[in-house]
Amino acid sequence: MQAGESRAAWGSLLTGVASCATIPLAVYLTRFSDSYDLLHAGFAIPVAAGLAVAAMALARRARLRSSVSLAGSAGSRRVIFGRVLGVIGLCMAAAALVALGVYGLLEYMGSRD
């Protein structure tokens, strides 16, 4: 196993976990703050999306390095889990963005009356 593949695989896995945890953690932390509302958790959406894209890029890098290497596909489970977690994190960020957009639309429509 090459050191670069192992680092990229572990990086993919860790950034995938971070991307999946970012939005729920932001929502959870707004419960303990008097100055931040649930709506302010929307600032975590770009962070989660960026981490998800980074996880998928690192998974691709690890997969490319392992396919070129003679060592085989050691660490491929970490790469697969990192990529899957990256996709899940990106889907969570997209769902949060849609929810924020629907909330804004409902606020706009409600204020017109």
CA 112 – CA 76 distance, rounded (Å): 54
pLDDT tens digit sequence for 16-62: 999 999 999 999 999 998 898 888 999 999 999 999 999 999 999 98
Distances (CA, A) of 107 to 54, 95, 100, 112: 33, 18, 11, 9
Distances (CA, A) of 47 to 20, 27, 42, 55: 11, 13, 10, 12
pLDDT tens digit sequence for 70-110: 665 556 888 999 999 999 999 999 999 999 999 999 999 98
